[in-house]
Homo-oligomer: A and B are copies of this chain.
């Protein structure tokens, strides 16, 4: 058991790390050479130009102005200064609402911390249970335990304080949650209403268009909607399966980068032409002249791309049974998205079209039956991933021991046998397999979501976030609380009775407080401080800058602003909500550590969102119901655990009082769901009608058809490397249009999604190419 001193030392080390990161950041960000790493958002917005153009040679790279170093913590007030409406305008609603999750943490836990320190800490402290058992049983207890519920004697009446506090905390959490839900819903509706017209407001995604022997998909869609929505139908765009083309274009792009790299290398050192190997990653195969090889490859790919384009134009097989159908008014689109079209509810499926950037093109053509099977497979796979992932990790660990390496690679033997290296390898190897697994886990989860067939990147991220949270709950929280792997726990829970399980967890909770305090400091404090330093993008930017960049455009492409990463970030926050709620009653000492995390993370991420991240899509805070639901489930879990703990503390008579809590909390959740969730799923007709009327009055001559014409085109047709609109494809899409007004359409279409069209989940590669944002 850790004492205050131990915790103090751990806190000191972690604070040191955090401060070191922050200081490093404060210095690095002032250097002009790093400007594009720490302020890419402003470059992308066109509001900041490179500071490297002016001043002396040295001051192009290093900041020599000592005054700016004095104000090195200025970024904190800067980050906090921007008001929320401006932030929404600057970075989008998703980012602004994402920050509100941290704020919500502060709102929930500041009053809870004050109350529990004012009431629970004195109540716990003024007992001597632990002191007694220390005297009699020679058990060691720390000061932290003396402040926790463990110090209250068995069967004491003082437990009523804890029960009353559990009610108070639940009430306060629910109150804050409902206020926040209302605010977010209002913000979302206001955001949707106050925006200029967006194509997704008029457009519905139609899937599972049944095949028709006499008509093409395009004709079939057109006829169906002309018949069934006669007064509202405007136009439609069929979905062309350009996944292969997108892959080829991406490949060509990468080869081009390599060519640039070799050319630059050659130009710097003319003595030797660079060589490469033709095999995987240039590691194996025949040695060839690199420049010639890459140039030949590019030529080959250009030809293939041209052929693929030809095929797309001529072959009807490339047209998927899906279409984006646009309506004359938001009212018409809202109606179509919310209703069932035909007797068979698995055909002509309509739903709101995601924002064009947000569309995940690969999944648009999955039929209904296949979708349900994919869901089942993904669910079963996730179950095994969560409970049995230790099996492959253990196998890898057992293979990757010293002897195994020596057997497979005998030439390494002399090096490995050096005792220092041997001990390092023996110490690190087992952990590495696990660490690698944990690093690729979000990618695996994202692939599962893609396999499941979601249609927008935001939906993919939401589903991945849910799975990541469950994985963390089982494999980080439960495994830390109760020893043993997840599978052993599943097995023991199956063999325990329903009222035993909360007791098992409840008893273990107070004992693990110090462990989780350390966890919060390492993962929360130092981790968040590390986030602001952006070490990886910093290194990659400078490498690219050195090896690839020739023009200003290249430099722009070398920036990697990244994005919030909802699928990994949100589950992390949720783990802190869980810890905070579970320990609020049990070990109030825990709460200040959580508060520091929320405050620090709020400032850091606000800074990052303002200066760095560039969101790939805008879902208008569609994730809030998930956030709300997970906090509620953490609350219910904390209540059940408290119930289990109480019943082992001789306060079993309190069970009826405590059992009402989860019932009321779940009821509260259902109420919130009914009251606020529709704002995140549906689009009320009144709003649509108001906006339609307003717009008709304001812009009576808006040519909606031309505006919507090319809104939903696979990004590969827009984002061509030659910068030209692909006229052939447009012609194909145009079949029925008399006056194609392409220029007009081009100006208004939002930037294409960076992810869509990419078949592999390797974000950084794709994100290298954000020039679409400033056409």
Contacts and interface: CB of A to CB of B under 8 A. Distances in A.
A343 B376 contact: no
Given A345-B679, A679-B345, A686-B343, A372 B497 contact: no
Contact of A372 (B344, B674, B678): B674
Contacts of A185: 343
Nearest to A681: B340
Contacts of A231: 231
Given A339-B338, A341-B686, A342-B686, A496 B497 contact: yes
Contacts of A346: 674-675
A765 to B, nearest CB: 36
Interface stretch (A119-127, A251-259, A663-671, A709-717): A663-671
Interface residues of A, number: 50
B228 A345 contact: no
Interface string A665-705: 00100110011111100111111010000000000000000
Chain A contact surface mostly: helix
A678 B496 contact: no
Interface in A207-244: 227-229, 231
A622 to B, nearest CB: 16
Interface string A344-371: 1110100000000000000000001100
A608 B709 CA distance: 62
Contacts of A189: 343
A494 interface: yes
Contacts of A495: 497-500
Nearest to A683: B340
Given A497-B496, A689-B227, A338 B338 contact: yes
A493 interface: yes
A334 interface: yes
Contacts of A229: 685
A11 interface: no
B345 A335 contact: no
A64 to B, nearest CB: 55
Contacts of A497: 494-498, 500
Interface string A173-190: 000000000000110010
A350 to B, nearest CB: 10
B500 A667 contact: no
Contacts of A676: 345
A380 interface: yes
Contacts of A375: 670
Contacts of A685: 228-229, 339-342
Contact of A339 (B335, B344, B498, B675): B335
A343 to B, nearest CB: 5
Q: Which 10 A-B pairs have the closest CB atoms?
A: A345-B678, A340-B682, A338-B339, A342-B686, A376-B667, A495-B497, A340-B684, A372-B671, A494-B499, A335-B335
Given A493-B498, A495-B497, 12 more contacts: A228-B686, A228-B689, A339-B684, A339-B685, A343-B679, A344-B675, A345-B684, A346-B675, A372-B667, A376-B667, A380-B663, A494-B498
17 contacts: A185-B343, A189-B343, A227-B686, A334-B339, A338-B340, A339-B339, A341-B684, A342-B684, A342-B686, A343-B679, A345-B674, A345-B675, A372-B670, A495-B499, A496-B498, A497-B497, A497-B498
